[in-house]
Chains A and B, each alone.
Chain A
Amino acid sequence: MHELGLTQHLIEIAERVARENGATQVRAVKVEIGALAGVVPESVEFCFDVCSRGTLLEGSRLEILFIPGRGRCYDCQAECTLDTYTVTCPECGGFSLERLQGKELRVVEVEVD
């Protein structure tokens, strides 16, 4: 549900960057969404169509780069893939997993005319 507000921020950021660079239209926006960011990419796509109307982003392409989750076990130091529901280390069964990658939620590139 909070994807709506986040998508509005995404559009604000892209519009600001486009204006700062003298562009009048945005062709595409690249966004990184990590597996552990608590955000549903499909929901962002849905909100993007609605929220971009009447902005410099109307008709632009949204590219979502999905970043898989990676973690490291504090107990045995093994690295593993993580999703939101991973709670135990697949190597040793320990519960203390550090999240190394997958919390990303950022605009990485704006393509303008």
Chain B
Amino acid sequence: MCTDCGCGPSGHHHHHSPAEQSPGRALRVEEDLLAKNNRFAAANRRLFREKGLLVYNLVSSPGSGKTTLLERTLTELQSELHFAVLEGDQQTSNDAERIAATGVPAVQINTGSGCHLDAHMIGHGMENFAELPLDIVMIENVGNLVCPAAFDLGEDAKIALLSVTEGEDKPLKYPDMFRAADILILTKVDLLPYLRFDIEQCKAFARQVNPRLRIFELSCQNGAGLPCWYDWLRQEIAAKRSLVRDDGR
């Protein structure tokens, strides 16, 4: 049978001009473009669950203080909690070296021209920590307030950082990221006296975009707000452990 017009095998000959070509075979698909990433994310989530790991995905623009917050947090909490860090950057292993200097195992993932970490990279990154007893894995994403919002890594939550040297309207300008995050950390608050940054306005903007956001304000220079952040991490790990115990029953 002629697939162009449906004529039978009677042997008549004709030519179809392109304009009268039938549309060919249409195949229904319904496959999500993020499906591949989401499959890897689901596998990561299973792995994290089996190991009872708490996993956070730190996202922000470059220079908002992700690595500094990690350095300080790891230095002060590693005596009570076992951490590991996956560091994402386009180039260099500078950040992994900074983290490794605290004594916490860190692996650098270079994305090259890529603008975000994806779930496949995280799965391979985790292979480096297979033998370690861990409580918390911190994933430091590539500094970018756009693309990482779309990629599930299998994490428990995305933590967005925003430094007070940026504009207070960033949550309105990059709503996808602030909507994807569960936690917002306002960093460098020791600089507030020198800036025209309205922190209450910033929090109001962030809550407009995402009313569920839990917001921390802190400074890694003078330590303000850090105890509150640490207490929250301790609560989260305690909740995770009790969940794992319930699972095991």
Q: How far is the CA of A28 from the CA of B27 in the complex (A)?
A: 10
Which of chain A's residues 8-53 have a Cβ closer than 8 Å to chain B?
A: 9-10, 12-14, 17-18, 21, 23, 27-28, 31, 37-39
Q: How far is the CA of A25 from the CA of B207 in the complex (A)?
A: 49
- Given A2-B115, A38-B150, the answer on whether A113 and B30 have CB atoms closer than 8 Å is no
| B208 and A88 form a contact (CB under 8 A) | yes
| B24 and A112 form a contact (CB under 8 A) | yes
A108 touches which one: B29, B36, B209 (CB < 8 A)?
A: B29
Shortest distance between the CB of A52 and any CB in chain B (Å): 15
A111 touches which one: B26, B175, B209 (CB < 8 A)?
A: B26
| A6 and B33 form a contact (CB under 8 A) | yes
Q: Using a Cβ–Cβ cut-off of 8 Å, how many residues does chain A contribute to the interface with B?
A: 34
**What per-residue 1/0 map shows which CB atoms of B191-233 lie under 8 Å from chain A?**
0000000000000000111010000000000000000000000
Neighbouring A residues of B149 by C-beta, 8 Å: 38
Shortest distance between the CB of B160 and any CB in chain A (Å): 15
Neighbouring B residues of A105 by C-beta, 8 Å: 32-34
B208 touches which one: A5, A12, A17, A95 (CB < 8 A)?
A: A95
Neighbouring A residues of B190 by C-beta, 8 Å: none
Chain A interface mostly helix, strand, loop or mixed?
mixed
Residue B66, interface by CB 8 Å: no
Q: How far is the CA of A38 from the CA of B146 in the complex (A)?
A: 8
B29 touches which one: A28, A84, A109, A113 (CB < 8 A)?
A: A109
| A107 and B29 form a contact (CB under 8 A) | yes
B23 touches which one: A1, A85, A111 (CB < 8 A)?
A: A111
- Given A84-B176, A85-B175, the answer on whether A111 and B25 have CB atoms closer than 8 Å is yes
B33 touches which one: A9, A17, A18, A96 (CB < 8 A)?
A: A9
| A10 and B27 form a contact (CB under 8 A) | no
Neighbouring A residues of B29 by C-beta, 8 Å: 13-14, 17, 106-110
A106 touches which one: B23, B33, B36 (CB < 8 A)?
A: B33
Q: How far is the CA of A26 from the CA of B114 in the complex (A)?
A: 28
Residue B116, interface by CB 8 Å: yes
Chain B interface mostly helix, strand, loop or mixed?
mixed
Residue B238, interface by CB 8 Å: no
Residue A87, interface by CB 8 Å: yes
B27 touches which one: A2, A9, A109 (CB < 8 A)?
A: A109
Neighbouring A residues of B176 by C-beta, 8 Å: 38, 84
- Nearest residue (CB) in A for B36 is A9
| B27 and A110 form a contact (CB under 8 A) | yes
| A107 and B33 form a contact (CB under 8 A) | yes
| A84 and B116 form a contact (CB under 8 A) | no
Q: How far is the CA of A55 from the CA of B26 in the complex (A)?
A: 18
Shortest distance between the CB of A8 and any CB in chain B (Å): 10
Q: How far is the CA of A110 from the CA of B34 in the complex (A)?
A: 17
| A1 and B31 form a contact (CB under 8 A) | no
Residue B13, interface by CB 8 Å: no
B172 touches which one: A87, A106, A108 (CB < 8 A)?
A: A87
- Residues of B bordering A, CB below 8 Å: 23-36, 114-116, 118, 144, 146-147, 149-151, 172, 175-176, 207-209, 211
A-B contact pairs, 20 of them (CB 8 A): A1-B115, A2-B115, A2-B146, A2-B147, A6-B33, A18-B27, A27-B23, A28-B24, A84-B175, A87-B175, A88-B208, A95-B207, A106-B31, A106-B32, A106-B35, A107-B30, A107-B33, A111-B24, A111-B25, A113-B24
